[in-house]
Amino acid sequence: MKKIILFYSIILIAFSCKSPNQNTNPIEEFQKNLVDKGITGSNVTQVFKDGEIVYNNIANSGALGDKDIDENTIFPIWSMTKTVTTVAMMILLEEGKYNLNDNLSDYLPEYGDIKCKGSDGVYPCEEKLKVIHLLTHRSGYSYYANNYANWVTSLHTDLHPAFTNPVRFNNLDDYSKFVSKIPLDFEPGTMYTYGINQAILGRFIEVVTNKSFYSYLKENIFDKLEMNDTKFHLSADDRERFQPLRVNIKPNTAFNNSDFHLEGYTGALDGYTYDENNKAHFGGEGLVSTMSDFSKFCEMLVNGGIYNNNRIISEESIKIMTSKYSNGYPDPNEPNVFPLEGQAYGFTFSVLEDSDAWGSGAPNGIYGWSGYHNTWFWIDPTNKLYGLFMSNSIEPDFGILKDFQTATYKFID
């Protein structure tokens, strides 16, 4: 009898010493935590390493008003559109269609008479606006609320930017001529401010190629990468696959300096019409995509510009667009950069240069970007890896990127 009691005592001690999280998957826990906290609704992750998908998981919320995600779910990827536009610009650079230091007015004459804001009011800019200033968010254009204030700090009054709006515009020519009259926040090239730059570059691409912006992207990127669900419009059938928006706007945050609070699920705050007949296709926001589609774009970047033995851009182009053009946070000379410690900025992409400061377990040299609705991706050239996260939720949460990376590098280790 004493031997039996001793045996069960040993078993009990063994179980009590076992960590309750010993068998949990860190990425799965990360996803579940976002749902439990209401930061996102249903969400999906994918990790690719050394030529294959090593993790793919859906965390469905089951909440009233939300919808279960599957392989056909369509998400608004908004500012991840910028990375697609950047790749398109690198294709054209390789073809010799322009030079980075060309004056924008050489292609879009409306930018030949730009104005700047100064301490004594608005004055004619002393510096020329160059193509590279748009690619690096150093043009002086920001995002704008309806009262022309900086939209990024006005989400409590304007859930979507005022002028990158297909209700207001139906083509990029009218859009470009309108925004060219907005005074720049500073002299071109002197500072970083996130803004409408890639939306302007969409019009630049139309002029350089004599094609519509979307048709150029489709022919040179989407068709070659088999990204058949990535576009600027939604059909009636697509609408059935479009993920509802999880709204979780908290009071007194970096994006909402008021007591305004909004929470729930809705299909009524798209921000865009996604009308197939509207040609105001903004290069900085506006694309929709699926996990399967955008993962092919990521795979192309991981593979140095190649997908299915088809070269989209050169390795030299990737090096150019992920080089450092703006210091990251914290830097008193760059007060407008996002709070991503240890990361500098290239052509839209954030690029990790101090892994200790960032602290996610990712190595220096990773690069990536996000979308307004909490879509995130990064490319890790060292480990031949990408991570991709998709949801449809606001407000933006910068903790998602670090937490996803931390969970991913724990998982692969």
Neighbour tally for 207: CB within 10 Å: 15
pLDDT of residue 120: 93
Q: How confident is the model at residue 2 (pLDDT cuts 50, 70, 90)?
A: very low
Whether 172 shows a pLDDT value over 90: the answer reads yes
What is 2-412's CATH topology?
Answer: Beta-lactamase (3.40.710)
Whether 148 shows a pLDDT value over 90: the answer reads no
Share of the chain above pLDDT 70, in %: 93
What average pLDDT is seen over the chain?
91
Work out the average pLDDT over 16-41. Answer: 80
Are residues 167 and 271 in contact, defined by beta-carbon separation less than 8 angstroms? no
Whether 296 shows a pLDDT value over 70: the answer reads yes
pLDDT of residue 154: 66
pLDDT of residue 8: 37
Work out the average pLDDT over 369-391. Answer: 97
Residues paired with residue 394 on neighbouring β-strands, in sequence order: 247
- What element of type H or E holds 364? none
pLDDT of residue 23: 62
How confident is the model over 310-350, as pLDDT tens digits?
999 999 999 999 999 999 999 999 999 998 999 999 999 99
- What element of type H or E holds 148? none
- What element of type H or E holds 406? helix 399-412
Q: Show me where the domains of the chain are located.
A: 2-412
Per-residue exposure over 171-188, b if at least 16 CB sit within 10 Å of its own CB, e if not = bbbebbeebbebbbbbbb
Whether 93 shows a pLDDT value over 60: the answer reads yes
- DSSP class of 129: P
Compare 47 and 156 and report the one with higher pLDDT: 47
How confident is the model over 235-257, as pLDDT tens digits?
999 999 999 999 998 887 777 77
Whether 152 shows a pLDDT value over 60: the answer reads yes
pLDDT of residue 251: 82
Whether 14 shows a pLDDT value over 70: the answer reads no
Whether 118 shows a pLDDT value over 60: the answer reads yes
Work out the average pLDDT over 263-270. Answer: 88
166 upstream amide cis, omega within 30 of 0 = no
Work out the average pLDDT over 290-299. Answer: 98
**N- to C-terminal Cα separation, the chain:** 45
Whether 11 shows a pLDDT value over 70: the answer reads no
pTM reported for the whole predicted model: 0.92
Q: How confident is the model at residue 156 (pLDDT cuts 50, 70, 90)?
A: low
Work out the average pLDDT over 278-299. Answer: 96
Distant-in-sequence, close-in-space partners of 358: CB < 8 Å, separation ≥ 6:
340, 341, 342, 343, 352, 402
Compare 141 and 258 and report the one with higher pLDDT: 141
